[in-house]
Structure 1
Amino acid sequence: MRVFISGYYGFGNLGDEMLLDALRALLIEYGFRRDELVVLSASPKETEREHALSSFKRGNLLRLFAEIKRGDLLISGPGGLFQDSTGPWSPAFYASHAFLALLKGAKVLIYGQSLGPIKRRVNLLLVRFLLSKASLVVLRDESMSDMVPRNKLLFTPDPAFILSVGEVSGLRDGIGIVFRRWKWDLESLLRVLVKMGFPLTLISFQAEREREDGIRLSKMYGLPFLTPSNWAEALRVLSTFKLVIGMRLHSLIMSAMTFTPFIGISYDPKVRSLCELLKMPFLESPRETFAFSGYIRDIMIKWDRKSEGLKCEVEILREKVRSVFTRSLNLLLGREA
């Protein structure tokens, strides 16, 4: 049995590459061999080098159709694949992998995903139809989960929580800001932070797309600018701060994994869900600058308690990821009633 993995891989996004490593670890822990795993990637050579997994071009549908067989498994995810806020064709593209697998008699597991936002009616209909045909759907939050048949639906924490962190830095100082290109006015938040007097560092998780913005803001405000080359390096970087302000979901997850309190910038419902789960504050509007200042002061005053709370929560989430994944594959492979 081979497992084909479809997701946003091969683009140099640290969060998605982290998810691929987490999924690989879960599959191997379950009993699959490394040579049974195949990744559909934008950069197959990079994926093979970084993750030591077989890979081919994610747009090569003919090869997928030729290689996937009855009894194989296609895993769509983890990540936020079925949304059209980053591109109108994303849902159709990822759905094409799943429909080809179903056509060949393979099982399809939608795993570790957040659904939406989906604005276009045609995409909504397409995703709803796919969810009804998938073998099992395992979501990481409740957003749009009403589209999934109840008898096919499970929930999991983000799979990244199962990864090993290593030693967490004992020396912490300042605030790390993980930014991204989005509709938010990042500079208004930076001005508030500069006035508060904390040491600040800008961080990009996708340097190819964000380097120009990072250099510009770094020069404008006289701030260090870091571009970690992989998720393990990003974890080490985030563990050196007293507080992280994140505009990327996995910057917040990595902060939690290093027991670093954080404030989420809620560009997507999945960010709000994570912040509520871990009892951390978040902003939904760039105009909330007064609340922003208050959140920072509160975290700095209660830092030890906040950090210890994250440590306890992360351990619970790590075990839940494992148990839900095991149950999911047992259901798919007929090992559980």
Structure 2
Amino acid sequence: MHVVLSGYYGFHNVGDEAILFSIIQALKSHKPDIEITVLSNDPEYTEKTYSVEAINRWDVKAIFSLMRKADGLISGGGSLLQDITGMKSIPYYTGIIKIAQTLNKPVFVYAQGMGPITKPINKWITKSIMNKVTYLSVRDEDSRNLLEEIGVKNEISLVPDPVMGLAADTFSNTWVQKQNFERPFISVSVRDWPSDVDYKAKIAGALDDLSRSGYDIVFIPMHGEHDDHTSKEIAGMMQEKSEIAPYDAEIQEKISIIGQSELLVGMRLHALIFSAISHTPFVALSYDPKIDAFSGICSQPVAGHVTEDNWGSQDVTRKVNALLEDKTRTVHDLQQKVSPLQTAAVHTAETVIRRLS
């Protein structure tokens, strides 16, 4: 059995790389001899990191040749079908699906987050393609509602994000021990986002308050140098000392660092997911509906939206303190929410394997 994986892979974004890692792990757990080829922006890195085959995601001729020999295409996960960060995503990912469909290959849409989709043409393209895929699964209720609103009649399965299937307690890191922290620490995941609101100053103020109340502050850059830059920017706004974990640390190490923290204050979705699978409480700062959706699934608070000026530093610290006031209960409640999702996350791969067999 040979499958092709299409997604935002090879761009060194920890969240999307964690999705790829999770899907590969899940597929191999159900079928150890499965052949996997990834469409990657950095094929050499992908092959070396995940021990799979990879080709250039932009080489259309090679993709046609690959799909002719493959048994099927997996599209996802991640937020692939959206037009908020640019106009190329929907044409690209639906184009890859169309290649597979033209060659009569089954297509499995794997735990994707859909939208936002603002342009009428993109809604039509998405509807047309999604109505013809073999298996359609999304990671949250908002994504399913969006597809139904734009006219998708295909059956839509609601499944957890694939990263939820990772066993966080099997990962470790040496970085934390080397820092010799004398106090418990709070992990922080931030990203740049266009906004008229000075949300970075609000975050810096909250982190200063938390530092003064007895916590060390550790930034975890999720998207390589991009988030490293934003982390340094916010750290520079702080009056108190903070640390920044290596931006090029492996996925497993970043999960482990977040898991050792008291709590995460996070913007990046997969930082929140890393926190959830580690049963570490989190306070989210939202820039996208997917953040609100996942926080709701885990019953963890959203302190504010980075494009809205109706929250402040005190809202972040208040929600952090509320979660940590009875941490034992907070962790227990989070575990009760997350554990069923961790079990269910690997079933998506099982469904794909079964329908390809």
* Structure 1 equivalent of residue 222 of structure 2: 205
* Structure 1 equivalent of residue 311 of structure 2: 288
Q: In 2, distance between residues paired with 1:43 and 1:166?
A: 29
Question: What does 1:242-281 correspond to in 2, within 5 Å?
Answer: 242-281=262-301
TM (norm. structure 1) is 0.91
1:176 aligns with 2:191: no
* Structure 1 equivalent of residue 203 of structure 2: 189
Task: After superposition, give the CA deviation of every residue in 1:155-206 in whole Å (9 maximum; x if it has no partner).
Answer: 1111111112235899981321101111352221211331342432222111
Q: In 1, distance between residues paired with 2:345 and 2:29?
A: 12
Matched residue type, 1:180: R
Find the residue that maps to 1:50 and give its secondary structure. helix
Check whether the contact 2:324–2:330 (CA below 8 A) recurs between aligned residues. Answer: no
Matched residue type, 1:306: T
Deviates more, 1:99-108 or 1:285-294: 285-294
Find the residue that maps to 2:54 and give its secondary structure. strand
Find the residue that maps to 1:100 and give its secondary structure. helix
Find the residue that maps to 2:39 and give its secondary structure. strand
1:298 aligns with 2:302: no
State which of 125, 140, 153 in structure 1 corresponds to 2:156.
Answer: 153
1:7 aligns with 2:2: no
Task: After superposition, give the CA deviation of every residue in 1:19-45 in whole Å (9 maximum; x if it has no partner).
Answer: 1111111211222524x1100000000
* Structure 2 equivalent of residue 224 of structure 1: 243
* Structure 1 equivalent of residue 231 of structure 2: 214
Find the residue that maps to 2:169 and give its secondary structure. coil
> What RMSD in Å do the two structures reach over aligned CA positions?
2.2
State which of 321, 330, 341 in structure 2 corresponds to 1:317.
Answer: 341
Q: In 1, distance between residues paired with 2:230 and 2:294?
A: 27
Q: In 1, distance between residues paired with 2:147 and 2:327?
A: 34
Equivalenced residue count is 332
Q: In 2, distance between residues paired with 1:160 and 1:66?
A: 30
Find the residue that maps to 2:68 and give its secondary structure. coil
Task: After superposition, give the CA deviation of every residue in 1:125-182 in whole Å (9 maximum; x if it has no partner).
Answer: 1111111111111100122131464542111111111112235899981321101111
Deviates more, 1:8-17 or 1:39-48: 8-17
Matched residue type, 1:288: W
Check whether the contact 1:76–1:109 (CA below 8 A) recurs between aligned residues. Answer: yes
Q: In 1, distance between residues paired with 2:39 and 2:131?
A: 23
Unaligned runs of 5+ in 1: none
Task: After superposition, give the CA deviation of every residue in 1:206-225 in whole Å (9 maximum; x if it has no partner).
Answer: 12223333333333424211
Q: In 1, distance between residues paired with 2:349 and 2:185?
A: 37
Check whether the contact 1:168–1:239 (CA below 8 A) recurs between aligned residues. Answer: no
Q: In 2, distance between residues paired with 1:168 and 1:102?
A: 38
Call closer, same or farther: CA 1:148–1:79 in 2, change over 3 Å.
farther
Find the residue that maps to 2:220 and give its secondary structure. strand
Matched residue type, 1:145: L
* Structure 2 equivalent of residue 130 of structure 1: 129
Deviates more, 1:254-263 or 1:210-219: 210-219
TM (norm. structure 2) is 0.86
Task: Give the percent of matched residue pairs that are identical in Structure 1 and Structure 2.
Answer: 26
Q: In 2, distance between residues paired with 1:128 and 1:303?
A: 44
1:77 shift after superposition: 0.3
* Structure 2 equivalent of residue 87 of structure 1: 86
Check whether the contact 1:5–1:76 (CA below 8 A) recurs between aligned residues. Answer: yes
1:124 shift after superposition: 1.4
Task: After superposition, give the CA deviation of every residue in 1:78-120 in whole Å (9 maximum; x if it has no partner).
Answer: 1110011111111111111100010011111111101001112
Q: In 2, distance between residues paired with 1:4 and 1:269?
A: 29
Matched residue type, 1:5: L
Call closer, same or farther: CA 1:54–1:328 in 2, change over 3 Å.
closer
Find the residue that maps to 1:291 and give its secondary structure. helix
Unaligned runs of 5+ in 2: none
* Structure 2 equivalent of residue 22 of structure 1: 22
Matched residue type, 1:225: I
Matched residue type, 1:4: V
1:166 aligns with 2:186: no
Call closer, same or farther: CA 1:136–1:251 in 2, change over 3 Å.
same
Q: In 2, distance between residues paired with 1:121 and 1:329?
A: 34
Find the residue that maps to 2:11 and give its secondary structure. coil
Q: In 2, distance between residues paired with 1:71 and 1:223?
A: 49
Call closer, same or farther: CA 1:44–1:244 in 2, change over 3 Å.
same
Q: In 2, distance between residues paired with 1:311 and 1:181?
A: 30
